């Protein structure tokens, strides 16, 4: 008997189930998309399988089974274009009524049938279907109102001196959504009022609030008016009887979140704690946005002083009023009104009375004069025509129209806006409010706009402008003839750039 020596280095052959540590491991790709099964088709195939089991030799049944096997998987074709979220949402609501597909491999998921899938592939023209969910705003007015109320409650908890300019802008944006508050003042005034607005909190019910102390916007809770009217709208003259009549119970509905009561202006002849505009709180916690009457008065006064200072500074920067003392400047500034005009607007026409005395705050204006010239017609005949010549322009801090209004005579030139213009204007009827000394000072300081021009100056300027225009036309024609002779068409081919 021979002995066989086994080498210890020789390893036994590993089976198919053993894992080799040295061999490269390849990850099997996972099925990212779980197939969706149509169970109605699956039942039909099961019936075919049963028939095949009874007659195993039937090749026709087997062939039919293999041809229809792939139909049990629903083919979700990718839609072309943007997703139609509105269609998908409607399909989700109708999942219980679907006929073709009722279940999927994963529990709790349902899919639509072939007809619904085909309708979902349509491209929607609704812009809301193409907006992201974060940018898409709610169309429910109640939801928008609730969001603005939350913004006001969050920001008004800070003191006015603690809020930033951005936060004040957010308060203004939310306040403009409430009509009863936004109609009380202009946007410029409302912006200043939002800076001084505060929050007022009452944690106990049945507290009497006096509306004559300020304007209130309900942020939380509700109140019951104790008198009529319970709000004073700007521009409406409401009568407040004395003594104030008491309302009966349930005579007036409660005021809820978003409603307003009170007044920005203090009712004259009534104490702040009088019964007019009073309400009674309901609930254990009520919050209000309050703008006091004293803050409103201060804001109006600050705006008035700011506008007066701006008008006086504009007058002092004008050459006509540069040497005036401050007292007559203040009297003239009190008559100024701001007006804005777009470009190419005729402010004053030559030979007519000026409609107002004006000082340019921003923008520029062209000064035009009429000139009579001989024009040659195509048939060689000459005739006289009236043309307008641009003699100059008026810039900022320049005035016009004083002599025409004070001396009641037509203006000597036409003035047309070259850009968007803002003017400080004074109506002729308001000049009667000035005293005689101020009127004489105004007349002595003023001079006619381009009143030193002679007919020769106007004709010479017209000739120079016509020569310049003809020279520009000649250059343009030469350039175009040169381009066209070489077959060059600007804007086409390699010259498109």
Looking at residue 425, the DSSP 8-state letter turns out to be E
Average pLDDT over all residues of the chain: 79
d(CA 223, CA 282): 5
Confidence band, pLDDT 50/70/90 cuts, at residue 97: very low
The pTM score is: 0.60
d(CA 483, CA 480): 5
Judged on CB neighbours under 10 Å (0-12, 13-18, 19+), 112 is buried
pLDDT digits (tens, 9 = 90+) for 348-367: 998 889 999 999 999 999 99
DSSP 242-300: SSPPPPPTTSSPPB-TT-EEE-SSPPTTS-TTSSTTEEEEEEEEEEEEEEEHHHHHHHH
Q: State the pLDDT at residue 388.
A: 85
Q: State the pLDDT at residue 142.
A: 82
Confidence band, pLDDT 50/70/90 cuts, at residue 80: low
pLDDT digits (tens, 9 = 90+) for 303-329: 999 999 999 999 999 988 888 998 999
Phi and psi, residue 473, nearest 5°? -65, -40
pLDDT at 112 exceeding the cut of 50:
no
pLDDT at 25 exceeding the cut of 70:
no
- Contact 233/183 with Cβ under 8 angstroms? yes
Q: Among 105-114, 198-207, 315-324, 465-474, where is mean pLDDT lowest?
A: 105-114
Q: Taking the chain, what is the end-to-end CA distance rounded to the nearest angstrom?
A: 100
Other beta carbons less than 10 A from residue 238's beta carbon: 13
Distance of CA 69 to the CA centre of its chain: 58
Q: What's the whole-number mean pLDDT along residues 366-384?
A: 83
Token pair recorded at residue 241: 């009887």
d(CA 440, CA 331): 14
* Range 318-453: architecture per CATH: Sandwich (2.60)
> Where does 142-299 sit in CATH, by number?
2.60.120.10
46 versus 57: the higher-pLDDT residue is: 46
């Amino acid at each position: 008997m021979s002995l066989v020596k086994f080498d210890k280095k020789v390893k036994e052959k590993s089976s198919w189930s053993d894992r080799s540590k040295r061999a490269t491991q390849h990850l099997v790709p996972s099925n990212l998309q779980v197939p969706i099964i149509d169970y109605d088709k699956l039942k039909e195939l099961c019936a075919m399988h049963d028939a095949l089991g009874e007659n195993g030799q039937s090749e026709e049944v087997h062939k039919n089974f293999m041809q229809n096997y792939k139909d049990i998987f629903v083919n979700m074709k990718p839609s072309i274009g943007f997703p139609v979220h509105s269609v998908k949402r409607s399909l989700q609501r109708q999942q219980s009524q679907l006929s073709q597909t009722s279940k999927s491999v994963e529990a709790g998921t349902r899919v639509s049938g072939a007809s619904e899938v085909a309708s979902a592939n349509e491209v929607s023209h609704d812009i809301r279907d193409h907006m992201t969910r974060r940018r898409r705003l709610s169309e429910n007015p109640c939801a928008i109102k609730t969001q603005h109320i939350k913004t006001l409650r969050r920001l008004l908890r800070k003191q006015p001196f603690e809020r930033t300019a951005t936060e004040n802008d957010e308060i203004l944006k939310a306040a403009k959504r409430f009509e009863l508050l936004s109609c009380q003042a202009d946007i410029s005034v409302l912006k200043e009022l939002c800076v001084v607005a505060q929050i007022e909190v009452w944690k106990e019910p049945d507290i009497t609030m006096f509306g004559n102390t300020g304007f209130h916007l309900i942020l939380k809770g509700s109140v019951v008016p104790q008198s009529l009217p319970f709000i004073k709208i700007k521009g409406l003259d409401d009568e407040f009887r004395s003594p104030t009549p008491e309302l009966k119970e349930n005579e007036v509905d409660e005021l809820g979140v978003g409603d307003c009561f009170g007044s920005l202006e203090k009712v004259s002849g009534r104490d702040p704690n009088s019964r007019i505009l009073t309400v009674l709180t309901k609930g254990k916690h009520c919050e209000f946005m309050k703008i006091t009457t004293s803050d409103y008065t201060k804001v109006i006064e600050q705006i008035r002083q700011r506008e007066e200072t701006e008008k006086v500074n504009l007058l002092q920067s004008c050459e006509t009023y540069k040497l005036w003392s401050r007292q007559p400047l203040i009297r003239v500034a009190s008559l100024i009104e701001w007006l804005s005009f777009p470009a190419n607007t005729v402010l004053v026409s030559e030979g007519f009375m000026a409609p107002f005395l004006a000082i340019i705050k921003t923008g520029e204006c062209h000064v035009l004069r009429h000139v009579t010239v001989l024009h040659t017609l195509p048939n060689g005949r000459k005739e006289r025509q009236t043309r307008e010549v641009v003699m100059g322009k008026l810039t900022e801090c320049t005035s016009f129209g004083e002599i025409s209004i004070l001396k009641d005579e037509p203006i000597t030139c036409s003035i047309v806006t070259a850009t968007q213009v803002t003017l400080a204007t004074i109506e002729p009827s308001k000049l009667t409010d000035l005293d005689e000394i101020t009127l004489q000072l105004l007349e002595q300081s003023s001079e006619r706009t381009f009143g030193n021009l002679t007919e020769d100056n106007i004709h010479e300027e017209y000739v120079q402008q016509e020569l310049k225009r003809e020279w520009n036309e000649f250059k343009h024609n030469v350039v175009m003839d040169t381009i066209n002779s070489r077959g060059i068409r600007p804007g086409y081919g390699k010259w498109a750039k």
